A and B are shown apart, each in its own frame.
Chain A
Amino acid sequence: MTTTVEFGKDLTGLEGLSVDQISTILDVAEPFKEISERPIKKVPVLRGKTIVNLFYEPSTRTRVSFEFAEKRLSADTVNISGTGSSIVKGESLVDTARNLEAMRIDMVVIRHGSSGAAQFLADRIPSNVINAGDGQHEHPTQGLLDMLTIRDHMGTLDGRRVCIVGDILHSRVARSNIYGLTRLGAEVAVCGPPTLIPHGIEELGVQVFKRVEEAIEWAEVLNVLRLQLERMKAGYIPSLREYNRFFGVSVARLEQAPRDILILHPGPMNRGVEIDSHVADGPHSVILRQVTNGVAIRMAVLYLLAGGSPERAEAAKKGTRS
């Protein structure tokens, strides 16, 4: 029963993962859901491991979700955020990480504003590195929890039609969703204003809808992205009101759909901009389910990476008594 699927040292994105690796993470997350429902929400599997949550960008949901996951696996955790640390004194990412390594840590969870920061760090330190969002690159655990939530409700991802609506250009969530969902056989589309759809996105195997009505006509699942308010100042969209009028997911629009559509949103929501309150709180919204699943997914990733080094795989081959 030892794992047959090998994982590398790090999780920096879903782009490089195989079907088996992604499926294994989703499958392992299932039993971890139950741990969070127990009166004592803790198992000792990562006892003695030290994990640093290194957050260069503000985050509540992702950081807290990782922290719960770590604590429920009995790891010791330290949180370092951009403000109030030596980061503001100009210390480089690698220097910060090397100093942490000198204190004997085992894993780093990193959120950073620059694309590629997680991989940059992973290549330079021996600890496991988990990407909790790097610039406009990837947010793999968010992609995985979205996939788990869709699979929970639809049974499978294979052949399901998922449309990601919103700012695709700047979204690491969109990228991780596209890589993961297409890898597992889902049909993926994106929808948003032309200024926020990257050129050549079709090369990733997705189709593009210019109008949200078309997306709703086609999709079984809508993953509605947060519209970063600073995009308006940068001139990508004329106004929030106009965005809502053309791309907001509303009850009236969903009523035109030929079927019930599952609604996801990675949070935090701008109610009344990209999503209306009645949709966010409606019967087909699984937004809070995503949050619950996020803890289970992060537990699964931590568990699989913590035990996945080549030396351990070697020891497993030699055979250990159980």
Chain B
Amino acid sequence: MDEPAVRRAVARMAREIVERNAGTEGLILVGIHRRGVELADLIAEEIEKSEKDKIPLGTLDITLYRDDLSVIGPRPVIGASDIPADIEGRAVVIIDDVCYTGRTARAAMDHLADFGRPARIYLCVLVDRGGRELPIQPDFVGRHFEVTPAEDVAVLVPEQDGRLAVELRKTDKG
């Protein structure tokens, strides 16, 4: 996906979120570190443009909620979790770049529970690459990709990668 394609997907997901929520009332967007945070910014911009309404925007770092510390060891880069508004009774949209095993989404839901009890949690991802290991499905998807184990999906975002795109890459596995 090149930049215009990503932007179109982001704009469509923004519309779908507002439509599903019947407006922007009670909506909070939460990006997952690191690329989900930038995508959440883009989606929030789109919603602001069309609805003329500023949506609370938060970030989550799920590193300490992962279930695989004993498998892959500690990760030294831990971002801040910052939820700007009370999530009690509101609709929280978790935003990430790729949905794969579903373990990140599970960890994000566990983490959100520490901040309160939302009325509803949605999952929004730019790429759904299949391969779920948990019964979790995204509500809003930019693009489905059939990805073989020998390939990897790379979502590139401006602040970290210098451009906006989605690329399939060969891995040394498989």
Chain A residues within CB distance 8 Å of chain B: 1-5, 24, 27-28, 30-32, 34-35, 38-40, 42-46, 73, 303-304, 306-309, 312-313, 315-316, 319-322
> What residues on B are CB-neighbors of A42 within 8 Å?
114
A222 to chain B, nearest CB (A): 31
A68 to chain B, nearest CB (A): 16
Q: A44-B65, A307-B73, A315-B72 are in contact. Are A322 and B80 (CB under 8 A)?
A: no
Interface size on B, residues (CB 8 A): 29
> What residues on A are CB-neighbors of B79 within 8 Å?
31
Binds A, one of B7-15, B44-52, B100-108: B100-108
Please tell me if the beta carbons of B64 and A28 are within 8 angstroms of each other in the complex: no
Is B78's beta carbon under 8 Å from chain A? yes
Cβ 8 A contact of B64, one of A30, A43, A320: A43
Contact with A along B96-121 (1 / 0, CB 8 A): 00001101100000100011000000
A11 to chain B, nearest CB (A): 13
Q: A43-B65, A45-B65 are in contact. Are A31 and B78 (CB under 8 A)?
A: yes
In the complex, residue of chain A having the shortest beta-carbon distance to the beta carbon of B65: A44
CA distance A321 to B74 in the complex (A): 15
CA distance A236 to B131 in the complex (A): 70
Where chain B touches its partner, the secondary structure class is: loop
Q: A40-B114, A321-B100 are in contact. Are A45 and B64 (CB under 8 A)?
A: yes
Please tell me if the beta carbons of B114 and A28 are within 8 angstroms of each other in the complex: no
Which residues of B, 45-79, contact A by the 8 Å Cβ criterion?
61, 63-66, 68-79
Please tell me if the beta carbons of A312 and B75 are within 8 angstroms of each other in the complex: no
In the complex, residue of chain B having the shortest beta-carbon distance to the beta carbon of A29: B78
Where chain A touches its partner, the secondary structure class is: loop
CA distance A313 to B69 in the complex (A): 11
Q: A42-B114, A45-B65 are in contact. Are A2 and B80 (CB under 8 A)?
A: no
CA distance A39 to B61 in the complex (A): 16
Residue contacts A-B, CB under 8 angstroms, 11 given: A3-B76, A28-B78, A30-B78, A38-B114, A304-B76, A307-B72, A312-B71, A313-B73, A315-B73, A321-B100, A322-B101
Q: A1-B77, A38-B114, A44-B65 are in contact. Are A315 and B100 (CB under 8 A)?
A: no
A317 to chain B, nearest CB (A): 10
B159 to chain A, nearest CB (A): 16
Please tell me if the beta carbons of B70 and A1 are within 8 angstroms of each other in the complex: no
CA distance A3 to B115 in the complex (A): 28
Please tell me if the beta carbons of B76 and A307 are within 8 angstroms of each other in the complex: no
Please tell me if the beta carbons of B76 and A320 are within 8 angstroms of each other in the complex: no
In the complex, residue of chain A having the shortest beta-carbon distance to the beta carbon of B104: A322
In the complex, residue of chain B having the shortest beta-carbon distance to the beta carbon of A42: B114
Q: A44-B65, A45-B65, A319-B173 are in contact. Are A2 and B73 (CB under 8 A)?
A: yes
List of 10 A-B pairs having minimum Cβ-Cβ separation, nearest first: A307-B74, A31-B78, A43-B64, A45-B64, A307-B73, A40-B114, A312-B73, A3-B76, A316-B72, A307-B69
